Amino acid sequence: MTVKLDGKAAAAAIKADLADRVARLKEHGVAPGLGTLLVGADPGSVRYVAGKHADCGQVGIRSIRRDLPADASEAAIADAVRSLNEDPACTGFIVQLPLPADVDQDRIIGLIDPAKDADGMHPANLGELVLHLDGWPATPLPCTPRGVIALLERGGIDLDGKEVCVLGRGITIGRTIGLMLARRDINATVTLCHTGTRDIAAHTRRADVIVAAVGSAGFVTPDMVAEGAVLVDVGVSRVWDGQAGRWRIKGDVDPACYPKSSAYTPNPGGVGPMTRAMLLENVVSIAERRLTA
């Protein structure tokens, strides 16, 4: 029987636990705050940032927004990052990606105070992830791969010794999830496919788990999937629905693949809610570490 891995339900349980942790922090005079820096009005980014702040309200975390126009200069964006670094009300923050094409994204991420890096994407925090083969480092972790792993664990899926095929090498998940899955306590074998891979289907057919993060609607088709594989759909595309007269969110995995799978994450409603939950988890953990330091 195929199992749907419900990210909304798992995220709700995580947020309930976080609300208790936030309440305990406030008893000690600590009020966690999440900051966001949004440049421009990309519909997906606007919706995602709004969701993050709605999540904050559910668990009792203060919301701090910095919104800049799409034509903001790199200097203005850098100043906004420094402002959040220096804001004592901001426990951790994220720079919503993508940034405008003429902005050096790596430089902006590098300006974030690593101790306030709620997305776990600062080079120093990624370096800590590289160094730790056993256990998690005491630094923020990348939210999307952490959310994927948490959702699989809650679904009772054991990755020990499993073949995991990751599609896409973006910074959000493709280049980091392999580091997390290859830790000794998870112990998966990871193959990373990208635009230079000659025969992607040959790799996916061998996989016990496929993590699709290419941002191409319906990229993974039934002929690419082994019977009983686990399908994790991370990619997001906006596709025009002519009959409904509106845009719809579509994932990388064609729903026709689901009957062949042993488990799958719906899209939307799978990895997305877990990514946002892990962002809150990072902020709360940062506050807890400061309290006990």
| pTM score of the predicted model | 0.94
Verify whether residue 52 is a known catalytic residue. yes
Q: What's the 3-state SS for the chain?
A: CCEECCHHHHHHHHHHHHHHHHHHHHHCCCCCEEEEEEECCCHHHHHHHHHHHHHHHHHCCEEEEEEECCCCCHHHHHHHHHHHHHCCCCCEEEECCCCCCCCCHHHHHHHCCHHHECCCCCHHHHHHHHHCCCCCCCCCCCHHHHHHHHHHHHCCCCCCCCEEEEECCCCCCCCCHHHHHCCCCCCCEEEEECCCCCCHHHHHCCCCEEEECCCCCCCECHHHCCCCCEEEECCCEEEEECCCCEEEEECCECHHHHHHCCEECCCCCCHHHHHHHHHHHHHHHHHHHHHHC
**Six-digit token string for 222:** 């039934």
Are the beta carbons of 267 and 251 closer than 8 angstroms?
yes
Q: Would you state the pLDDT for residue 48?
A: 87
Are the beta carbons of 181 and 190 closer than 8 angstroms?
yes
Q: Which residues pair with 237 in a beta bridge?
A: 250
pLDDT digits (tens, 9 = 90+) for 149-182: 999 999 999 999 999 999 999 989 999 999 999 9
Q: What are phi and psi of 266, to 5 degrees?
A: -70, 160
pLDDT in tens, the chain (293 residues): 899 999 999 999 999 999 999 999 999 999 999 999 999 998 878 988 999 999 999 999 999 999 999 999 999 999 999 999 999 999 999 999 889 999 999 999 999 999 999 999 999 999 999 998 888 899 999 999 999 999 999 999 999 999 999 999 998 999 999 999 999 999 999 999 999 999 999 999 999 999 999 999 999 999 999 999 999 999 999 898 888 899 888 999 999 999 999 999 999 999 999 999 999 999 999 999 999 87
Q: Would you state the pLDDT for residue 243?
A: 85
168 is annotated as contributing to ligand binding: yes
Q: How far is CA 288 from CA 20, 53, 65, 98, 138, in A?
A: 12, 20, 22, 30, 11
242 is annotated as contributing to ligand binding: no
Annotated active-site residue in 52, 116, 162, 250: 52
Annotated active-site residue in 119, 208, 233, 252: 119
Q: What are phi and psi of 10, to 5 degrees?
A: -65, -40
Verify whether residue 8 is a known catalytic residue. no
- Tell me the pairing of strands 246-250 and 209-212: unpaired
236 is annotated as contributing to ligand binding: yes
Verify whether residue 260 is a known catalytic residue. no
170 is annotated as contributing to ligand binding: yes
